[in-house]
Amino acid sequence: METGKEEIRIGVFVCHCGFNIGSVVDVPAVMEYAKTLPNVVCAEEDLYMCSSAGLNLIKECIKKYKLNRVVVASCTPATHEPVFRNACEEAGLNKYLFEMVNIREHCSWVHMHHPKEATEKAKDLVRMAVAKANFLEPQIEPELEINPSALVIGGGIAGMTVAMSLARQGFNVHLVEKEAKLGGMLRYLYKLQPTERDASEILHEAITAVKANSNIHLHTSTIVQEVKGFIGNFDVTLQKKGSNEHEQINVGTIIVATGAEDFKPVGMYGYEENENVVTQLELEQLLERGEFKKPKRVVMIQCVGAREKTGRTYCSRICCMVALNNALLLKKLCPDVEINILFRDLQTYGEYEDFYREARAKFINFIRYDQDKPPKVTSRSDGKLTVTVYDAYLDAVIEIDSDLIVLSTPLIQHEDGRKLSPILKVPLGADGFFFEAHPKLRPVDFTSEGIYVCGTAHGPKNVNESIAQACAAASRAAIPMATKRIKAEAVKASVDEDICVTCDACVVSCIFNAIEASSFGLPNIIEANCKGCGVCAAECSMGAMQLIHFTDKQIVAAIEALFKPKKLAGLGDSFEPIILCFACQWCSYGAADLAGISRIQYPPNVRILRVPCSGRVDVLHVLKAFQNGADGVIITGCLIGDCHYIDGNVKAESRVEVMKKSLPALGINPERLEIGYASSSEGQKFATMMTNFVEKIRKLGPNPLRVEGGGD
């Protein structure tokens, strides 16, 4: 449906979501209010807008009222935006002419005790969406041809599983392994639970299958030196280790299965100083090689180098199960051995709880220690070891003599994985492991299309979990290769060459090499490389660079629509601030969603505006908010180090620091601007961040630009 020269005709559809929205928000009032907004020619409500009846209502109204823009006010776009977009397309409306408003997670669920305020907030959000919808434009998603071949980086069990899965489907696979042998960490394991099969048997079967498959091209002692291109057409340069020998290959998809390595606790508990202090992995190697000397007493210490207050703050997940597995193996090998496991918390999820019960039944002792009072290991003159530990249950310090101390250490990202991150332009998380696009919706995808992750490269996991995730990654990579053509997102950078002054700020800011200076000096956008973060648009001082579907005009329209009706409101004795929150669609918006799902309450003063990345927020957007009366502006994004666009949040932070220095010249207290970070799993953190910011702004009082004169 062409809308370029047509009169703007907007339809607004408000969902009750059963009682989820309707029991708090006055849905009929929101619907009637929507009818008063500019260019809205139709407003409807339904009990469940995502039901077949609700979707049919949208499609019927598109045809009946000749709608060329659609706004749905319901739940989170993270789950339901594709559903409504498909309905629009079925009615002949371009899906990029659709805008969604979240009045469930961001209104009814987080303000359930304030129905009046929740209803007013819902009206505000609908008004913002309608204002943005006025400037939406239809888009065409470009089609890309896919080379039906894959590059698998890493020859461990995850990498071999991916390679075999794809090869059996008929795809050519280049399997690259940095070592001379396949197997990764599986080569150093002994027996695997729950089957107690030898790890060497599984390894032998996998290697035999890989080498026998003619669709798999094996590259050992090889590293990935350079990757150029995009999904369907990656040009990869491989280099033989220790030589200048190079090989060029072209693939359609890439799977990262580089694995991890175990942390070496040098200087901790006598490790490397005493031969009787080993890690769990080293214990398995002794068992596997048959070099194990039967001890009388064994002490296992958990969380060595993990869950620290700084550095490796994460839990390695598998350490407790590994300790239980090895303790039971020792009991089987030496029934009379005394085993003490010193732990902070035991994480034995799933069937491993049975192993904990079995360990207790076999008289393996568990002693809980406090992080602030860690065990101490001393060597005696006879070569024996003594472990001194404060038992939190007995409230007493005890001493344990031991012949062998086994340290449970975490898996960590190795240096080769860190080097691969900038080559592929894919992010690492705060824990150092590769960071997926979304933990629930896209758990094996990167934000860079056509690149996937599995195994311990993604984070600590056992062999079974690595194999399962490898199968998932293979299935994801197989989809575009099987179809041989895919449609790419239309949310890409675009440039107005009439405004551009060829300063190259966009070229420098794009970490994905999606913008290059042409021979005439004007930037050339490589659409296939563009990830749609919008950082380049925010860095462009002339406004020549824009992000399709998140243009300055669209964002500013939403901002102005929020504040203009409120400029002189709320300035009495019971002043209530109006706060605009820019939320990154990957993390902080997800955190806001989780706060709603968890019913974590925060003040109803906050209005959330979704952006692709915190790095998209321009100085213009912040200034427009304050000029139109915002009492506070908070930009929220991914955790530093976890940005889905690698460094978009870092650029946003730098931009905020500059703006804070400039705001006093406008009469605005810089404390009214803030930047915060939250992962999609930190709903409580997001709610606390909003609560604290609202309280701070409440103390500062109204923005002086909401009234004539005044100042902070």
Tell me how many degrees the CA angle 673-678-680 measures, rounded to the nearest 5.
135
Tokens coding 704: 């002086």
Whether 709 shows a pLDDT value over 50: the answer reads no
pLDDT recorded at residue 529: 84
CATH of domain 489-548: 3.30.70.20
Which CATH architecture best describes the domain 145-260+413-486? Answer: 3-Layer(bba) Sandwich (3.50)
User: pTM higher than 0.85 for the full model?
Assistant: no
Q: Please, which pLDDT band fits residue 519 given cuts at 50, 70 and 90?
A: low
**Dist. CA 447–CA 648, nearest whole Å:** 13
pLDDT recorded at residue 328: 94
Whether 316 shows a pLDDT value over 70: the answer reads yes
Hunting for tokens 């929740």 — which residue is that? 118
CATH of domain 1-139: 3.40.50
Q: Please, which pLDDT band fits residue 711 given cuts at 50, 70 and 90?
A: very low
Q: Class for domain 550-712, per CATH?
A: alpha beta
- Mark out the alpha helices in 441-520 (DSSP H runs): 463-483, 505-509
Least confident of 142-146, 152-156, 199-203, 459-463: 142-146
Q: How many Cα atoms within 13 Å fall on the side-chain side of residue 122? A: 38
Helices 199-212 + 157-168 axis angle, to 10: 40
Q: Name the average pLDDT for the chain.
A: 92
Is 489-548's fold the same as 550-712's?
no
Of 482, 618, 604, residue with least CA distance to 547: 618
CB 591, CB 644: distance < 8 Å: no
Tell me how many degrees the CA angle 226-232-235 measures, rounded to the nearest 5.
20
pLDDT recorded at residue 571: 56
Tokens coding 4: 């370029």
Tokens coding 681: 């799993």
What residues contact 307, with CB distance under 8 A and at least 6 apart? 313, 314, 315, 344, 371
% of the chain surpassing 70 pLDDT: 97
Average pLDDT over residues 25-51: 97
Average pLDDT over residues 588-602: 94
**Dist. CA 639–CA 660, nearest whole Å:** 21
Dump pLDDT digits (tens) for 613-668: 999 999 999 999 999 999 999 999 999 988 888 899 999 999 999 999 999 999 99
At residue 188, what is the residue type?
Y
Dump pLDDT digits (tens) for 673-687: 999 999 888 999 999
At residue 31, what is the residue type?
M
**Dist. CA 704–CA 282, nearest whole Å:** 66
Tokens coding 679: 């992962």
% of the chain surpassing 90 pLDDT: 78
Q: Please, which pLDDT band fits residue 280 given cuts at 50, 70 and 90?
A: very high
286, 373, 389 from 402: Cα distances, Å: 18, 20, 13
Q: Please, which pLDDT band fits residue 712 given cuts at 50, 70 and 90?
A: very low
Query: How far from chain centre, in Å, is Cα 381?
Result: 52
Q: Which residues does residue 645 pair with via DSSP β-bridges, in sequence order?
A: none
pLDDT recorded at residue 520: 66
Q: Please, which pLDDT band fits residue 518 given cuts at 50, 70 and 90?
A: confident
**Dist. CA 336–CA 363, nearest whole Å:** 10
pLDDT recorded at residue 350: 85
Whether 569 shows a pLDDT value over 90: the answer reads no
Whether 300 shows a pLDDT value over 50: the answer reads yes
pLDDT recorded at residue 660: 96
Selected residue with higher pLDDT from 365 and 680: 365
Domain ranges of the chain: 1-139, 145-260+413-486, 264-410, 489-548, 550-712
Dump pLDDT digits (tens) for 194-208: 788 899 999 999 999
CA-based torsion, 636, 642, 643, 648: positive or negative? positive
In angstroms and rounded to an integer, the radius of gyration of the C-alpha atoms of the chain is 29
At residue 408, what is the residue type?
S
192, 196, 315, 358, 462 from 354: Cα distances, Å: 15, 15, 21, 6, 17
**Dist. CA 396–CA 389, nearest whole Å:** 8
Whether 567 shows a pLDDT value over 60: the answer reads no
Backbone angles phi, psi at 275, to 5 degrees: -65, -15
CB 369, CB 391: distance < 8 Å: yes
pLDDT recorded at residue 128: 97
Tokens coding 495: 């440039």
Q: Please, which pLDDT band fits residue 707 given cuts at 50, 70 and 90?
A: low
pLDDT recorded at residue 376: 95
Dump pLDDT digits (tens) for 88-104: 999 999 999 999 999 99
Hunting for tokens 């071949």 — which residue is that? 149
Which CATH architecture best describes the domain 264-410? Answer: 3-Layer(bba) Sandwich (3.50)
Q: Which helix (H) or strand (E) holds 360?
A: helix 352-361
pLDDT recorded at residue 650: 95
